[in-house]
Structure 1
Amino acid sequence: MTNWNEQSTNEKGQSEVQNLKELADIKYALDESSIVAVTDQKGIITYVNDKFCEISKYTREQLIGQDHRIINSGYHSKEFFRELWRTIANGKVWKGEIKNKAKDGSYYWVDTTIVPFIDEKGKPYQYLAIRTEVTAYKKVLEELKLSISELADLKYALDESTIVARTDQRGTITYVNDKFCEISKYSRDELIGSDHRIINSGYHSKEFFKKLWKTIGNGQVWKGEIKNKAKDGTYYWVDTTIVPFINDNGKPYQYLAIRSEITARKRVEEELKQMMTKIIQVQEEERKKVSRELHDGIGQNLYSLLITINRISAEQDHPLLPEMQKEVTSLIEQIRGISWELRPSVLDDLGLVPAIRSMINQYSQHYGIQITFSTNLKVRYSMDIESNAYRIVQEALTNIRKYAEVKQAEVSVMKDGTTLVIHIKDQGKGFSVNTGSRGVGLFNMEERAKAIGGSIDIYSKEGVGTTVKVRVPISEGRDV
């Protein structure tokens, strides 16, 4: 029979075996997952595991008997290592990140814990260093740090040069930079919590802002020019880009508005527009004057001469008289044509629609191009609008005659609410809008549209044709 002492001894032996097995398992797990090294009290390496050799590219024989200067990268200062040694020499655990250098010259980072083993006198007799490689993490961290630095630089440059504001999905301002406050004359406290109606100048229509919100509400970037009103009542223009930030559901949760002030540029544009309008007005007045002089002066004199020739021809027969009649008649027709080209009297007397009809009739007779004309105009508008609209149609038809190579075209002049819409369309040769040179004709049409506050769009494709669309804001006209 086994006595109690023998049983106790067996149990104790089994417990020690179990503890040794657990320690062996722990060492195995540590060797598989971590870089492990043991040094004596002087820092001489006495043990390294396979992971240490793998990451450092040194063999076990090359490492044992050396100190950790063999893998020193030179990245850390002497003070860094002095502090490390001061800590572990005092029997304290040291934790930190160290950049090492492998045998092949490559660098790697390790998250390090150094544990001192203490003897009976309370002094360290060896050190256990457990390391985890964090090179990839440090690389990501460094890249992130660099990205943050670049973003900070970009933000600084943006803040210095641009007006920046951020709003929530409802349009409430949540952030403005100093430039916004400077140009708007409002303080940051006055702006944050408000919406952009605080700087609304009243210049743009409700439809303008509806389209803006529809664009960014659908997650699309909006670009355009906006006229705003500062706190002191002054107006300023900004070239604006609004970028929606999209959440996981594909819906905007905030908007970033980046603006550049263009007040000076808009002022110059307005002055140029006024100057161009004045030039066009003077030009039309001169055309009208010359047209009248040709028609009422030279034209009438030639007509009187023709009557005289006819009388002489009736009284006597002379071989030169028929030739003179023919030449004078031809001159009268040429004078009438020049006069009509300069300024058709029907435009002043009867208005835009009769003038266009007259132009189309003569155009078709001279060039054999049939023009379909449609209109719903029943009133007359200002002479500026009618003159420039007429010239735009005239220029477009001239371009069709010269370049389109067609026998048919369409012209429509329609009132659409408070807008006069002019369409001139052909199905001719067409051209590339982006690469084609913008000739004098297109330039003239653009400038005339601008002169009356309108816009012009030209759509064209080679082999398909060209469409000119002009939109001009109008007020109530007067009855024809």
Structure 2
Amino acid sequence: MLTELKDVKHALSAMELSSIISITNDNGMITYVNDYFCEISKFDRNEIIGQSHHTVNSGYHPAAYFQDLWETISQKLVWKGEMKNRAKDGTEYWISMTVMPIVNDQGFVYQYVSIGTDITSRKENENILLQTMENLHDIENALDASSIVAITDDKGVITYINEKFCEISMYDRAELIGKTHRIINSGYHPKSFFKEMWETIKQGLVWKGEVKNRAKDGSEYWMHTTIVPFLNDDRRPRQFISIRTDITDRVKAETALAERTKQLAKAHDEAIKANMIKSQFLANMSHELRTPLNAIIGYSEMLQEEAEELGESFFAEDLAKINKAGNHLLALINDILDISKIEAGKMELHLEIYSLPDLIQDVMTTIRPLVESKGNKLQTDCRDGGEFTSDVTKLRQILINLLSNANKFTEAGSIAFDIYKEARGNRFGFAFRIRDTGIGMTPDQLEKLFQPFTQADASTTRKYGGTGLGLAISQRFSQIMGGDISVESEFGLGTTFTCWLPSSPPDAGAVEVFDEETEALQALALKRNSELAAIPDVNRSLGEDIQSSRTLGAAEFLVEPILRESLIAVMDQFAVNRAEHTVLVIEDDKSANEQAARLLRMEGYNVCEARNGVIALACMGRVKPSLIVLDLMMPGMDGLAFIEEWRKHDKWSRVPVILLTEENKAPDDRQSNKHKPAKGGPLYVQDITGRG
């Protein structure tokens, strides 16, 4: 008996140390707590004794929970449960409790003993596990809703698939479980593709890639696939989970984009090729058209002079008409080439510093005879003079185009040409305003203005002629120079064109600006070059303004077609006594060669003819000429090659060389001309000296 009492005492001592014990009376007032109770609740014993367990109530459990507890123990039954309490410092803890009612001899409950175990850590782990399970459940739901999921064993046999897998593959679940993924293999990928995949996941590594599969009905679809291996205790894969996303639409879009890009690249290459063919065609046609035209213009001029000398005025008038028609056709060809160069972005600026009053006087000299021939009056008001930096060639062409256009549509009326300074925004410039009292235009006609090959209407074209290129070219030229052309018109009352150009041209640093002092210094440098001192600078100006001057009947430049006055004016600078001088004409075109030779012979010169540079050098070995007229564009040894060879002979270095070139001939035109290969653009003295 004593031994049993000792065992009980030891058991109670052990329980006292390991359990949370409290005793309450039948009213629930605490009469005893052990040390563990005080330790976990952080209350002193005297703070607890006489209080109820409400002192440690956390508020976590509902009232019904405690009601069930009291109903149980009031019936003399043991209650077991878990309780979340709050310590004195506010921290919370969990206890697994057993509450036992103690009955006296009369059979009444007089106190309750509560024995508890701290389960706070377990509950925290349970909460973490529960949260993890909830997260996994959410992930599973999300994957099932958005992704195509499959699980296979370590051999690749399918053990699970979600509904979306069945939807996209068009197989039932029963048809897939127990099979491998070969059932949806499209045959698109090589064996090495799957070999690399298996080698990766067998090593416990994640594999990602894009796979083309085949559905049950034969349709194919693309999947972005991620395969995750799950390992057992010995770090070997026990199963694989594949998560897939349907990327069929994206792959189709990428394929279409790649094909479209390929087509665009092909179209781009074809466009470049077509543009090159167009440029070559224009260059060749330019040469093929202008060569016979030059002959027509040149011969008609010579025959006209001969007819006038013989008193054959009837024939002279007809020849003058031929000459005029030839020049008109040549101007049209030049217009077409100009607009083609503009559209191709190959039109460049050649800036010069020049006197504005001198330019206006030059334009007036050219245009006034045409204005007077139609009975119109021309008034000019140049309020502001001084120097102006611009492409004088293009500006001259713009002004002559606008003035001739005003003259064309005005009969016995007036044309006012005003020049004045005008600021637009923060840019200063000049305005060139041309007002006429002509036929005017309707709003519909104004909308068609500045379009190439377009005039107001068909009746205008029939009555007044023209191609509509002049205004289009003028507008493009003004825009290239940083300006613009505006127009106001009222039908039946007249039209006003205003061309505005900035004083400071665009991208001035990227183009060359010439002034008189610079050109004079270049000329002095040229004269000091013993090899080149005798070469006159007879083709200094660009040929782009030839078209307008020819349209108006003026001859200002020594270019083909070779005109008598221009040629003789240059020749007389170097040969006073004509009969004493021999001129060597080097020109491959038979008509142009004969024309130049005939003109020179008519003026009293002795002439030698050569069709290319090789023949010319042989000719010079026999007869030393006093002057050389040289075409740049020739087959075999062209003009540039001839000059290089000519430099090597000191005895010929003082012979003047006059350079000929077709007007409006662009560098790319020459390079694309298979009949006349060349190395550059219109040859100026700077080109020869290397200063250009």
TM-score, with structure 1 as normaliser: 0.60
Moved more, 149-158 or 72-81: 149-158
Counterpart mapping for 1:55-454 below 5 A: 55-286=40-271, 308-310=611-613, 313-314=616-617, 315=619, 321=630, 325=638, 327=640, 335=671
User: Would you say the 8 A contact 2:226–2:242 is kept in 1?
Assistant: yes
Deviations 1:373-420 (A, max 9, x none): xxxxxxxxxxxxxxxxxxxxxxxxxxxxxxxxxxxxxxxxxxxxxxxx
Distance 1:73 1:247, change over 3 A: same
What letter corresponds to residue 65 of structure 1 in structure 2?
Answer: G
What letter corresponds to residue 174 of structure 2 in structure 1?
Answer: D
Q: Distance in 2 between matches of 1:166 and 1:154?
A: 15
Equivalence for 2:39? 54
Task: Describe the SS at the equivalent of 2:67.
Answer: helix
What letter corresponds to residue 98 of structure 2 in structure 1?
Answer: T
User: Would you say the 8 A contact 1:299–1:335 is kept in 2?
Assistant: no
User: Would you say the 8 A contact 1:220–1:244 is kept in 2?
Assistant: yes
User: Would you say the 8 A contact 1:309–1:321 is kept in 2?
Assistant: no
Q: Distance in 1 between matches of 2:6 and 2:204?
A: 63
User: Would you say the 8 A contact 1:299–1:332 is kept in 2?
Assistant: no
Task: Describe the SS at the equivalent of 2:612.
Answer: helix
**1:194 Cα offset (Å):** 1.0
Q: Distance in 2 between matches of 1:116 and 1:306?
A: 134
Deviations 1:239-286 (A, max 9, x none): 111112222322222111111111111111111122222223334445
Distance 1:313 1:149, change over 3 A: same
What letter corresponds to residue 310 of structure 1 in structure 2?
Answer: G
What letter corresponds to residue 612 of structure 2 in structure 1?
Answer: I
Task: Describe the SS at the equivalent of 2:150.
Answer: strand
Does residue 1:40 correspond to 2:25, yes or no?
yes
Q: Distance in 1 between matches of 2:191 and 2:264?
A: 33
Distance 1:246 1:300, change over 3 A: farther
Task: Describe the SS at the equivalent of 1:114.
Answer: strand
Q: Distance in 1 between matches of 2:588 and 2:263?
A: 40
User: Would you say the 8 A contact 1:236–1:263 is kept in 2?
Assistant: yes
Q: Distance in 2 between matches of 1:35 and 1:251?
A: 46
**1:36 Cα offset (Å):** 0.6
Task: Describe the SS at the equivalent of 2:204.
Answer: coil
Q: Distance in 2 between matches of 1:107 and 1:239?
A: 48
What letter corresponds to residue 87 of structure 2 in structure 1?
Answer: A
Distance 1:61 1:332, change over 3 A: closer
User: Would you say the 8 A contact 2:170–2:216 is kept in 1?
Assistant: yes
**1:312 Cα offset (Å):** 5.2
Q: Distance in 2 between matches of 1:299 and 1:252?
A: 76
Equivalence for 1:404? none
Instruction: For structure 2, list consecutive stretches of 5 or more residues without a partner in the other structure.
Output: 292-586, 590-610, 645-666, 673-692
Equivalence for 1:426? none
**1:51 Cα offset (Å):** 0.4
Counterpart mapping for 1:24-39 below 5 A: 24-39=9-24
Q: Distance in 2 between matches of 1:39 and 1:306?
A: 132
Q: Distance in 2 between matches of 1:301 and 1:326?
A: 19
Deviations 1:286-318 (A, max 9, x none): 55566678889969999x988943255244566
Task: Describe the SS at the equivalent of 1:209.
Answer: helix
What letter corresponds to residue 175 of structure 2 in structure 1?
Answer: E
**1:172 Cα offset (Å):** 0.9
Q: Distance in 1 between matches of 2:279 and 2:60?
A: 93
User: Would you say the 8 A contact 1:294–1:335 is kept in 2?
Assistant: no
Q: Distance in 1 between matches of 2:208 and 2:39?
A: 56
User: Would you say the 8 A contact 1:313–1:321 is kept in 2?
Assistant: no
Equivalence for 1:372? none
Equivalence for 2:465? none
Larger gyration radius, structure 1 or structure 2: 2
Deviations 1:17-73 (A, max 9, x none): x33322221121111111011112222211110000111111111111122111111
Distance 1:332 1:52, change over 3 A: closer
Task: Describe the SS at the equivalent of 1:81.
Answer: helix
What letter corresponds to residue 82 of structure 1 in structure 2?
Answer: Q
Q: Distance in 1 between matches of 2:198 and 2:243?
A: 16
Q: Distance in 1 between matches of 2:234 and 2:269?
A: 59
User: Would you say the 8 A contact 2:231–2:237 is kept in 1?
Assistant: yes
What letter corresponds to residue 132 of structure 1 in structure 2?
Answer: T
Distance 1:70 1:269, change over 3 A: same
User: Would you say the 8 A contact 2:283–2:670 is kept in 1?
Assistant: no
What letter corresponds to residue 37 of structure 1 in structure 2?
Answer: S
Deviations 1:144-196 (A, max 9, x none): 21121122112212211111111111111111111111111112221111111
**1:121 Cα offset (Å):** 4.1
Task: Describe the SS at the equivalent of 1:207.
Answer: helix
Q: Distance in 2 between matches of 1:260 and 1:130?
A: 56
Distance 1:326 1:311, change over 3 A: closer
Q: Distance in 1 between matches of 2:588 and 2:273?
A: 25
Q: Distance in 2 between matches of 1:137 and 1:285?
A: 77
Task: Describe the SS at the equivalent of 1:32.
Answer: helix
Deviations 1:213-239 (A, max 9, x none): 122122221111111111122111111
Give % identity.
44
Task: Describe the SS at the equivalent of 1:265.
Answer: helix
What letter corresponds to residue 18 of structure 2 in structure 1?
Answer: S
Moved more, 276-285 or 325-334: 325-334
**1:125 Cα offset (Å):** 2.3
TM-score, with structure 2 as normaliser: 0.43
**1:133 Cα offset (Å):** 0.8
Task: Describe the SS at the equivalent of 1:116.
Answer: strand
What letter corresponds to residue 201 of structure 1 in structure 2?
Answer: S
Task: Describe the SS at the equivalent of 1:228.
Answer: strand
Q: Distance in 2 between matches of 1:306 and 1:321?
A: 10
